């Protein structure tokens, strides 16, 4: 099978992903083999390629926003049939035994393993996954528009929950890429007032088209205090202005898996009045199922830019330099 793999991380401009021909993976017990049709290009993939996330193995195939069709079944499978359309997301495996798993917070499992990081992902023609970590996907959405929902969408949804977003509240979004352009649609569906802080013209145009109530730069004071805010950009310098923009009891959630250093905070300005700063760590399967159902109901529309599998380096470079309006998609077996 054809795949794009990282043998050693490096700056994306040096094209660290290499085209390879590999033997097709064989599904083990309770695993399904999936023929990939589309795979979203996520900023986490960029962190894997560039080494911001330290390599877990010497050769990894990135990609965790995977849409495809079940090709074959391992022993003991019974959830999906051959030919079923499924999705694969970031969370790939947990222990199911620790206090976090038993308490409904499997995203914090210390033994969790992740797609495209611990095990090969969707930058390939074929991939395997445990059937209990695959998702039935809405049939009303096409492969290309569905792929970003499987990470950008799910993480954006969990970020909305972690930021304590409630119907009718005032929400600030810092950074407006693949995840934020989905999260705003959920927030507007809930009747929220949404202020977007973004530096890029293309992103601002998309935010306006999706109903943003105000658009400005990260260092501008929004027109009203924020009940909730989400930081999507992996830039620690944006944490102080986002906290300063919160109303009393406001919550800022940081949605990225990687963040540059946060500058010193002033307690009175940034945290007093019971403001809260929270991180977002992966997602649970319940998050994914809730979001996919909601996305079909709204329905969520994704802005996508397609690339062939062979141009994965170019897609990631454009993502790094904010040149993607919405989400990049690798078309694999399309």
The count of structural domains within the chain is: 2
pLDDT tens digits, one per residue of 94-151: 999 999 999 999 999 999 999 999 999 999 999 999 999 999 999 889 999 999 999 9
- pLDDT score recorded for residue 325: 84
> Are residue 137 and residue 186 in the same domain, yes or no?
no
- pLDDT score recorded for residue 134: 98
**Distance from C-alpha of 327 to C-alpha of 304, rounded to nearest angstrom:** 5
- pLDDT score recorded for residue 334: 63
> Is pLDDT of 202 > 90?
no
Q: Residue 196 is part of which domain span?
A: 153-279
pLDDT tens digits, one per residue of 68-89: 999 999 999 999 999 999 999 9
How many Cα atoms occupy the beta-carbon half-sphere of 250 within 13 Å?
Answer: 23
Hey, how many other C-beta atoms are within 10 angstroms of the C-beta on 314?
17
> Are residue 83 and residue 190 in the same domain, yes or no?
no
Between helix 152-162 and helix 180-189 the angle, nearest 10°, is 50
Tell me the pLDDT of the chain averaged across its residues. 95
> Are residue 78 and residue 217 in the same domain, yes or no?
no
Contacts (Cβ under 8 Å, ≥6 apart) of 57? 118
> Are residue 110 and residue 144 in the same domain, yes or no?
yes
Q: In whole angstroms, how far apart are CA 73 and each of 76, 83, 123, 135?
A: 8, 10, 21, 15
> Are residue 234 and residue 248 in the same domain, yes or no?
yes
**Distance from C-alpha of 12 to C-alpha of 191, rounded to nearest angstrom:** 39
> Are residue 144 and residue 54 in the same domain, yes or no?
yes
CATH of residue 112's domain is 3.90.180.10
Q: Which of 244, 263, 279 is the last residue of a domain?
A: 279
Q: Which of 243, 260, 279 is the last residue of a domain?
A: 279
> Are residue 274 and residue 293 in the same domain, yes or no?
no
CATH of residue 224's domain is 3.40.50.720
Model confidence, pTM: 0.92
State what percent of residues in the chain have pLDDT above 70: 100
pLDDT tens digits, one per residue of 222-263: 999 999 999 999 999 999 999 999 999 999 999 988 899 999
pLDDT tens digits, one per residue of 25-73: 999 999 999 999 999 999 999 999 999 998 898 899 999 999 999 999 9
């Amino acid at each position: 099978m054809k795949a794009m793999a990282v043998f050693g991380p490096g700056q994306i401009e040096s094209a660290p992903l290499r085209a390879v021909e590999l033997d097709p993976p064989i599904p083990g017990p309770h695993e399904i083999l999936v023929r990939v049709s589309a795979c979203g290009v996520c900023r986490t993939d960029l962190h894997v390629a560039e080494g911001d996330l330290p390599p877990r193995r010497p050769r990894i195939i990135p990609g965790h926003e995977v849409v495809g069709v079940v090709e074959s079944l391992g022993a003991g499978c019974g959830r999906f049939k051959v030919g079923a359309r499924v999705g694969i997301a970031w969370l790939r495996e947990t222990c199911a035994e620790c206090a976090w798993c038993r308490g409904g917070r499997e995203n914090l499992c210390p033994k969790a393993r992740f797609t495209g990081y611990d095990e090969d992902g969707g930058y390939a023609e074929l991939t395997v996954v445990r059937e209990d970590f695959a998702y039935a996907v809405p049939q009303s959405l096409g492969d290309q528009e569905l792929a970003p929902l499987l990470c950008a969408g799910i993480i954006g949804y969990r970020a909305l929950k972690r930021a304590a977003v409630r119907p009718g509240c005032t929400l600030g979004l810092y950074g407006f890429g693949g995840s934020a352009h989905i999260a705003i649609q959920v927030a507007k569906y809930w009747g929220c007032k949404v202020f977007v802080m973004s530096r890029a013209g293309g992103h601002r145009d998309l935010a306006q088209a999706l109903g943003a109530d105000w658009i400005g730069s990260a260092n501008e004071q929004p027109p009203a205090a924020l009940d909730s805010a989400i930081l999507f950009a992996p830039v620690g310098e944006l944490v102080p202005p986002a906290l300063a923009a919160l109303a009393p009891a406001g919550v800022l959630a940081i949605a990225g898996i990687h963040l540059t250093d946060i500058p010193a905070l002033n307690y009175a300005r940034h945290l007093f009045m019971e403001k809260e700063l929270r991180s977002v760590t992966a997602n649970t399967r319940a998050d994914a199922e809730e979001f996919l159902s909601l996305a079909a109901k709204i329905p969520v529309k994704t802005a996508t830019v397609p690339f062939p599998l062979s141009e994965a380096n170019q897609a990631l470079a454009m993502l790094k330099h904010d040149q993607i309006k919405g989400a990049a998609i690798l078309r694999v077996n399309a």
